[in-house]
Amino acid sequence: MQARLLLEDGTLFTGKSFGAEGDSVGEVVFNTGITGYQEVLSDPSYCGQIVTMTYPLIGNYGITRDDFESVRPFIHGFVVRQHEDVPSNWRGEYSLGTLLKEYGIIGISEIDTRMLTRRIRHHGVMKGILTTSTRSVAELLEQMKSTPLMTDQVSRVSTKSVFSSPGSKERIVLVDFGAKSGIVRDLVKRGCDVVVVPQDATADQIRRLSPDGVLLSNGPGDPKDVPHAVEMIRQLLGELPIFGICLGHQLFALACGADTDKLKFGHRGGNHPVKDLISGRCYITSQNHGYTVKEDSIAGTELEVTHINNNDKTIEGLRHKTYAAFSVQYHPEAAPGPFDSSYLFDDFLESIRKFKQDNPQLPRQAQVYTAAKFKPAPVSAELKGELHYAKK
């Protein structure tokens, strides 16, 4: 079956359909990864986007249950040069086309993805419509113009219930703005007691979970569409160690008074060079984001830049000068991509241990005695709000 991709500037690509049938509108972006298409498909940060893979052969090793980064894909379309529907891989369980059909995602192949990528690089990301229908270009343009791009992606991909991956060491509250499974895996591997909470969790709700640290996850869309998260972070700054990844990095910057802006075509792929300004070392990183922290907005804040992108010099890492809080724009858990930066999880845990040494707490029994001896202040209605916990 024929499929077509129409960009908002009128550029039309005609190719072959695979996956689901129908129409889908989204922001057309590209990813430069050579492998890892399943992790790209299942990364919640792509919610609302039509993803173009620049590597020419996609689908050749199939789909494997163990390689998902979320419970399901959230992308709005998949664009490839050559689609292989008969994979060869001892781990493969079914084909890429089967996965796309299962979740109603349209795929298009046999188009010039190099031309498409160059167009996005020159003009910037733009809205597009992917269709298997035979309607006219004028009708498709009208539908695309009348369909707004999403602004609620974070609430769509975030967990609705609290759940945990128990461990014996530090308790980490992971705020799920669209978290990849790799983040949880890296924390669990280090023995952490991980509690995952929804994107709209308040500072009071997080405090009541008695965390040792808070990790702000990656996620889709514009950080300014999540103002409640900025306020939550602002309230917890200095009270608990904080580590932000990708969208979490941008939200951390906003909470500290910096500003963000949209990139022309974003950073998406597994080979982006990032320079550590402290050590001078360059790391090859996995990235997926369309927004960045504005360099000129750092002045006047308590933030310092720790990492920059060696390609375009955009900010890739921040640290608070006073509080135990830092963030990176890239993905230390990778998946797909190199694991050069997984040490950042160790740095986060070390910052928690140092924070505890510098801020000793009363022994648990002394806290219980103090609470019993002195009548606590009345609890506000807002504080009484409970998180919704997942049921076994």
Annotated binding site for L-glutamine: 45, 219, 221, 247, 250, 288, 290-291
Torsion region of 335: left, alpha or beta (phi above 0 gives left; psi -120 to 50 gives alpha): left
Strand 282-293 and strand 315-320: pairing?
unpaired
Q: Which of 76, 246, 272, 307 is catalytic?
A: 246
Residue holding tokens 């999403």? 150
Would you give the distance in Å from CA 22 to the centre of its chain? 27
Q: Is residue 213 within 8 Å of 352, Cβ to Cβ?
A: yes
Beta bridge partners of 240: 237
Q: Name the token pair of 294.
A: 């504005």
320 in catalytic set = no
Q: Name the token pair of 3.
A: 């499929």
170 in catalytic set = no
Length of the chain: 392
Q: Is residue 334 within 8 Å of 274, Cβ to Cβ?
A: no
- The rounded distance, in Å, linking the Cα atoms of 97 and 325 is 42
Biggest alpha carbon–alpha carbon distance for the chain:
76
Q: Name the token pair of 188.
A: 């669990």
- Sign of the CA dihedral with 149 first, then 152, 156, and 159 last: positive
Q: Tell how many helices (H) and how many strands (E) occur in the chain.
A: 12, 19
165 CB-side CA count, 13 A: 17
What are the backbone angles phi and psi of residue 310, rounded to the nearest 5°?
Answer: -75, -15
- The rounded distance, in Å, linking the Cα atoms of 305 and 278 is 10
Q: Which of 267, 272, 289, 331 is catalytic?
A: 331
- The rounded distance, in Å, linking the Cα atoms of 122 and 11 is 13
Q: Which of 29, 33, 68, 32 is nearest to 49 (CA)?
A: 29
Q: Is residue 32 within 8 Å of 56, Cβ to Cβ?
A: no
350 in catalytic set = no
Annotated binding site: 45, 219, 221, 247, 250, 288, 290-291
Residue holding tokens 């009484």? 384
Residue 238: partners with Cβ closer than 8 Å, 6 or more residues away: 322, 323, 325
Catalytic residues: 246, 331, 333
